[in-house]
Chains A and B, each alone.
Chain A
C-alpha cells in the first residue's frame, strides 16, 4: 500500500523551528518528488516547496526562502521539512505529497505557534 505517514502534532514558541517528517512506504522513495503544502485553519492550500529525493535538489516558494529546509534520508525513505523563525501566522496543517501532481498525500501534521 502506497502511503506517506507524517510525524505528530507540534506546539512551538514564536521564533523557534519545527521539523516535520514524512515516511514513504509501498514504493521506491527516490522515484517521485516530494512536495510540501500547508493549510491554515479555514484557508486554502499553499505550496511551500519541492524536493527530488534522488538528487536532494530543492526549490521553494519565494515566501519561504531563507526559512525552509527540505532534506531526506534515503536509507529509511523519509523526507523532512524544517521551518525556522516561526511566527503565529505559521500555525497550520502541513502536508507532504508525492509527485508533481500530488497523487498521494500524508495525513497532515498540525503545527501550532503560540507564546
Chain B
C-alpha cells in the first residue's frame, strides 16, 4: 500500500480533460514537500512530466499541468490524445519515512 494514493485507472475520450489525483498526508504533501509527476509507457523508463508541483520541463506539452493543495496534488491533461495513454506516477518526500515516496500509479486509457 503506497503512502501516496492514486486512482488505479482513469479514462477519457480524445479531446477531453482528465485529472489524476495524488493524496498524501501531513508528513509528505501536507508538510509542504514538492510533488513531481512521471509518465511511463510499457517497457520504458519513466519520464519526468511535472516537477515542483506545477513546472513543466522543456519539451513537455502545455496540455499537462500540475497543482497542489493541502495534502493532495493533481495532474491535469487537457486535449486528451491517444499518445497520452500511459501510466502516471506522483512522487514526494515523506518526513516520517525520511525518503522519497511514489504513488501507486494510475493507468490512463484514451477511449
Residues of A bordering B, CB below 8 Å: 35, 37, 44-47, 49-50, 59-62, 95, 97, 101-103, 105-108
Residues of B bordering A, CB below 8 Å: 2, 34, 36, 38, 40, 45-48, 51-52, 57, 89, 91, 97-105
Q: Is the CB of A101 within 8 A of B97?
A: no
Known interface pairs A37-B46, A102-B48; 10 further A-B residue pairs with C-beta atoms within 8 A, sorted by A's residue number: A44-B103, A45-B46, A45-B91, A47-B101, A59-B99, A97-B46, A101-B48, A102-B91, A103-B51, A108-B45
- Would you call the interface of chain B mostly helix, strand, loop, or mixed? strand
Q: Which residue of B lies closest to A98 (CB)?
A: B48
Q: How many whole Å from B15's CB to the nearest CB in chain A?
A: 29
Q: Is the CB of A106 within 8 A of B45?
A: yes
A37 CA to B98 CA in the complex, in Å? 15
A103 CA to B34 CA in the complex, in Å? 14
